[in-house]
């Protein structure tokens, strides 16, 4: 039976020679014999390599073999070679079979003389492992399970979906580590705290995640921490894995359990989404305990996936529903095997390579014009799916950026071909238009600079007005306590009618000298906002739900501007009356008027002048 060349083990040195154990000189003509270790009278083949790249063959060396005059191993043609060992039975490559090797010096007649050394069980291979056996992977697939760069603390009473620590995010919908629940009202709080208890059979992390519910809410069907595991479900379908978690119940609370789920998200736009699958309920005690729970990723072979390419697997650690509880956990981990390591550890630099990597919508600038994969040029063009007529990129991997622009930027600044689907500016409408092959225009960038906007202001804030009490103040519903500082650019949306005097699709600027989180005023431009006057007024209360939204993606300014008379600095000239006739006769250069209403000749040519700030040009890209 032919050997399997993939199982050969080469000598580790480029050139070996054997020396006399007494003299220390090359063992000229020494005899090397190789036997089966368990049957030391039975010779066992060793090999040398010959042939050309891509077509190498392996031929048995002499056995016994006589060394050269300088103690090297040679082939039958007298060429020095590297020996290859085959530590398995030649008739059964799954059965390990080690060598027993003897090396002798020779006498003057070339016969074996003095034993130089022996080698047994060479080269060593574990007796219980066959070459075709698989070894488990001890790589953890929950990134940042030790909560580096976490939120700190969160009052989660009115929170339904909140990132609490960064994790995998590229291409995901609901990436990162998130707190999720289906209804508000429960008095919930999250806090990341430093570990004080040493974990058994594990590396103790810096942080644990503490969750406390002091006031229950009926109607809860979900209240969990969700961890991303893998983008695209068909990669891990039917794979056996182990979920590991360290958890404890804070003493005295009777609801001492966690439900562990695997969630197979089929992607945005899927016809249906399967419910999370319960892996196991774990019962906690008053100390941190390590739980190892085997499971199998659900089958996805017949699943109908959404067109956005954002299908993914998640792990959900669910708290007791509609009851009070006080539970801590840390280091949730996924291993693709039924065995797990005792001490798993990632440095913060390793974690940082994932959590700090560019996110959808990030800018990248470079003098290099190479279009990096995973990015799209910020060339004022369009993006869309693979069947669209997009000019910047037509591919399904544009969905995350398409959705971000669609839901964050109004149509004025990021038009959709054929118009946006009503009600617009939602992920559902974005997906409808994306799958209808509509393109969306990238926010304008060419020849423009980027101005900052408070990233905490990332969603609509509902406002009401009380005309008659005030005709300038917008009262905000602002549970997160976001401060819209003076100069913040925003726009207004409505499901009914805005207060008279306010307009949709118009950019306003905040005037908020006290940094109030509940009341702001508006100005028509930055100059008025910074001065606090004049402010925009309204003359009715409006109807429907009215909101302020961030003015992401808007563009303004001009590279040349023709000044108007009103924009000239207000000025006068004092001229002695005795000089007026001379000035009038010579043309004084200004539109000054004497007491007889005689006007001097005009000066200036009304030529537009450049108002572009000092600028350098480079290549700019958006992260998909």
**Spans in the chain with pLDDT lower than 70:** 1, 126-134, 573-603
Q: 296 burial class (0-12, 13-18, 19+ CB within 10 angstroms)?
A: middle
Render pLDDT for 257-268 as a digit per residue (tens, 0 to 9).
999 999 999 999
Which residues, listed in sequence order, are joined to residue 258 by a DSSP beta bridge?
A: 282
In CATH terms, the fold of domain 5-122 is: Tailspike Protein; Chain (2.170.14)
Radius of gyration of the chain (CA): 38
- The pLDDT > 90 percentage for the chain reads 69
Asked, colleague to colleague, whether 5-122 and 153-355 share their fold, the answer is no
CA distance 621 to 365: 6
Indicate the pTM of the whole model.
0.73
Domain ranges of the chain: 5-122, 153-355, 461-550, 563-606
CA distance 535 to 394: 44
- Residues in Cβ contact with 288 at an 8 Å cutoff, skipping those fewer than 6 apart: 197, 199, 200, 208, 246, 247, 248, 328, 330
399-408 vs 427-435: helix crossing angle, rounded to 10 = 130
pLDDT of residue 581: 58
* Tally of CB atoms within 10 A around 287: 12
Secondary-structure percent of the chain, ordered helix, strand, coil, rounded to 5: 10, 35, 60
Provide the CATH number for the domain formed by 153-355 in this structure: 2.60.120.260
CA distance 565 to 604: 12
Render pLDDT for 438-497 as a digit per residue (tens, 0 to 9).
999 999 988 888 877 777 788 889 999 999 899 999 999 998 888 999 988 999 999 999
Buried b vs exposed e over 503-534: b needs ≥16 C-beta within 10 Å? eeeebbbbbbeeeebeebbbbeeeebbeeeee
CA distance 549 to 545: 13
């Amino acid at each position: 039976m032919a050997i399997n060349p993939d199982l050969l083990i080469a000598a580790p040195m480029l050139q070996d020679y054997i020396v006399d154990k007494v003299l220390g000189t090359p063992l000229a003509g020494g005899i090397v014999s190789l036997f089966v270790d368990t049957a030391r009278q039975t010779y066992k083949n060793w090999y040398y390599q010959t042939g050309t790249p891509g077509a190498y063959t392996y031929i048995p060396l002499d056995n016994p073999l006589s060394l050269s005059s300088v103690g090297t191993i040679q082939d039958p043609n007298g060429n020095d070679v590297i020996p290859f060992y085959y530590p398995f039975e030649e008739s059964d490559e799954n059965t390990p079979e080690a060598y027993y090797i003897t090396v002798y010096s020779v006498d003057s007649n070339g016969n074996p003389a003095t034993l130089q050394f022996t080698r047994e069980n060479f080269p060593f291979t574990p007796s219980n492992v066959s070459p075709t056996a698989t070894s488990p992977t001890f790589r953890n697939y929950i990134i940042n399970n030790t909560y580096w760069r976490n939120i700190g603390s969160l009052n989660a009473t009115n929170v339904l979906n909140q990132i609490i620590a960064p994790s995998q995010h590229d291409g995901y919908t609901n990436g990162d580590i998130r707190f999720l629940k289906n209804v508000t009202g429960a008095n919930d709080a999250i806090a990341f705290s430093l570990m004080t208890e040493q974990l058994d059979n594990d590396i103790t992390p810096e942080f644990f995640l503490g969750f406390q519910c002091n006031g229950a809410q009926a109607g809860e069907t979900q209240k969990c921490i969700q961890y991303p595991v893998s983008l695209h479900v068909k990669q891990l379908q039917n794979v056996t894995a182990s979920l590991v978690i360290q958890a404890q119940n804070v003493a005295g609370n009777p609801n001492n359990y966690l439900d562990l789920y695997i969630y197979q998200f089929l992607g945005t736009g899927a016809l249906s989404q399967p419910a999370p699958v319960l892996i196991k309920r774990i019962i906690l005690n008053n100390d941190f305990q390590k739980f190892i729970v085997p499971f199998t990723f659900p089958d996805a072979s017949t699943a109908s996936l959404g067109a956005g390419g954002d299908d993914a697997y998640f792990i959900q650690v669910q708290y007791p529903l509609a009851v009070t509880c006080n539970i801590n956990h840390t280091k949730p981990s996924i291993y693709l095997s039924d065995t797990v390591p005792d001490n798993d550890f990632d440095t913060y630099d390793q974690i940082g390579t994932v959590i700090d990597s560019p996110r959808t919508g990030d800018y990248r600038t470079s003098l290099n014009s190479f279009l990096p994969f995973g990015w799209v040029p910020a060339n004022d063009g369009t993006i869309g799916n693979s069947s669209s007529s997009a000019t910047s990129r037509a591919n399904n991997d544009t969905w995350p950026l398409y959705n971000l622009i669609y839901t964050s930027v109004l149509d004025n600044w990021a038009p959709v071909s054929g118009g946006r689907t009503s009600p617009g500016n939602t992920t559902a409408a974005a997906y409808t238009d994306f799958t209808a092959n509509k393109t969306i225009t990238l926010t304008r960038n060419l020849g423009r600079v980027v101005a900052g906007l408070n990233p905490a202001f990332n969603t609509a804030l509902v406002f009401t007005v009380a005309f008659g009490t005030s005709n300038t103040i917008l009262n905000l519903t602002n549970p997160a306590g976001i401060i819209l500082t003076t100069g913040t650019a925003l726009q207004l949306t409505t499901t009914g009618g805005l207060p008279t005097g306010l307009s949709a699709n118009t950019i306003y600027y905040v005037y908020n000298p006290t940094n109030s989180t509940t009341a702001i005023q508006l100005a028509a431009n930055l100059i008025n906002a910074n001065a606090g006057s004049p402010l925009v007024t309204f003359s009715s209360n409006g109807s429907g739900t009215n909101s302020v939204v961030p003015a992401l993606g808007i563009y303004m300014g001009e590279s040349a501007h023709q000044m108007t008379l009103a924009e000239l600095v207000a000025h006068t000239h004092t001229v002695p009356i005795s000089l007026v006739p001379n000035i009038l006769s010579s043309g004084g250069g200004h539109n000054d008027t004497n007491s007889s209403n005689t006007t001097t000749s005009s000066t200036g040519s009304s030529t537009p002048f450049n108002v572009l700030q000092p600028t350098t040009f480079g290549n700019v890209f958006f992260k998909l």
